[in-house]
Amino acid sequence: MRGGAGRRLLAAAAAAVILGGTLLLIVVRAAYPLDYEDSIRRACVAHGLDPFLVISLIAAESGFRADAVSPAGAVGLMQIMPATGAWVAEQVGVADFTPVFLEEAETSVLLGTWYLSHLVAHYAGDLRLALAAYNAGPTAVDRWRAAGESTPATVASYVERVLSGAARYRFWYESPILGALVRALPR
């Protein structure tokens, strides 16, 4: 290949690489959404949590749907049970709490991050136990531990999904180049 044909082939190859890279970034943005990032980051700073851990927890719990309601009755982005929400609201000074508050993204993040930080402190910094308690409740986790039982497979799988999701979010969004490219895509 000489001259023009070689340049055309090189241009076509470059275009294919750019298109493939753009498609990859679009898939990443869809697979790893980052809605409510500012609220999550503010709450994580206030409660000493890793934002990527909370983002991954939200992805696992509600798929970033503020109006999500689980079969068990957990509500909102962070899937908080209404009774837990009422208790946490009292702890953080949210007046006149009603379960409807949990459908508000800001409130769900505020209450959920406080509760997760409370669980992390309760379990002396053990993220695995804190996440298991977030998913199954601290009473269940304490009962399993007291009985010498292992964490049920569904809860252990949830914990792994959240922890590995946090690592993937960090890879895609904290990398200086990749993060900037993924964030530049429209939502």
Residue matched to tokens 């001259």: 3
153: its two tokens: 């497979």
From 55, 123, 134, 131, select the one nearest 88 (Cα to Cα). Answer: 134
Question: Residue 69 contacts by C-beta under 8 Å, 6 or more apart in sequence?
Answer: 75
Residues contacting residue 118 through CB under 8 Å, at least 6 positions apart? 88, 91
- 61 has catalytic annotation: yes
| Tokens matching residue 133 | 């308690």
| Catalytic-role residue among 37, 61, 106, 160 | 61
Rounded-to-integer distance, Cα 176 and Cα 3, Å = 37
Q: Are 65 and 92 in contact (CB under 8 A)?
A: no
**Which residues lie closer than 8 Å to 15 by C-beta, 6 or more apart?**
none
Q: Which residues are catalytic?
A: 61
